[in-house]
Amino acid sequence: MNVNADVTRLLSILAQTNTTHLPPPAPPAPPAPPPTPPPHSRPQFADPRLHGGSPFFQQPPAPIPVTPAATAVVDPKSITDWPAALKYVMNTIYRNEEVMAQIKKMKRHQHDHEKQWWVAREELVRKHEARVESSKRVAELLRGLGTMPTTATSNLPTPESEKEELRVFDQKVHTRSEEMVKHMASEFAAMGIPFFCRAGLPEKEKEDAEQLQALRRRVVELLEDLCEGE
């Protein structure tokens, strides 16, 4: 009985000793912080064509300037119809300031000459009218005095002679106007105006001379309208 009590006492002492010298249990470890995301960076791809080296992901190249096709140069000598002449005048002649200035100058000179001729003719007509009135007054005065017309009064111009004088004047104006038209036509030819810069009419086109003159008048009217519109 004593032996069992001693053994029981010894086991109790050993149990207390082991409990005293064992370290206390460690506190639980704090939870691990969440992983920090890496800084923003260019994604890496296995295929090098998809980052940097691929032309599909680069800035598009600058567009290559396209040079417009050169406009075909039209020779005004080859123009034979009105639509082509109208297009040439509007696109070439009207845009040429130097040519348009020359045309305006020619137009002023033409109008100046026409005005001078008209004024001179009116003066001649008034001179004839005044002469007729003067001769009538002289004749009436002489008849009132019972005197026969003198040689001086009988030598006054007759209506027939005055008409002839006017006809001669008109003929001179007509001749000068034709010379002016020829000069203007040569100037238009030098400028490259359609229907004026043709060297000459072939035999087969001589029958169309009237049509050519009509086309020339039409071009001149167009140029006058363009000059007045500026």
Give, for all 230 residues of the chain, the pLDDT tens digit: 455 666 566 666 655 554 444 455 555 555 656 556 555 555 554 554 545 555 444 555 666 655 544 556 789 999 989 999 999 999 999 999 999 999 999 999 999 999 999 999 999 999 888 876 766 666 666 666 666 555 555 556 788 888 999 999 999 999 999 999 999 999 999 999 999 987 555 555 555 788 888 999 999 999 999 998 76
Residue 19 has what pLDDT? Answer: 47
Residue 128 has what pLDDT? Answer: 85
In three-state form (DSSP H/G/I as H, E/B as E, the rest C), the secondary structure along the chain is: CHHHHHHHHHHHHHHHHHHHHCCCCCCCCCCCCCCCCCCCCCCCCCCHHHCCCCHHHCCCCCCCCCCCCCCCCCCHHHCCCHHHHHHHHHHHHCCCHHHHHHHHHHHHHHHHHHHHHHHHHHHHHHHHHHHHHHHHHHHHHHHHCCCCCCHHHHCCCCHHHHHHHHHHHHHHHHHHHHHHHHHHHHHHHHHCCCCCCCCCCCHHHHHHHHHHHHHHHHHHHHHHHHHHHC
Q: What is the pTM of this model?
A: 0.58
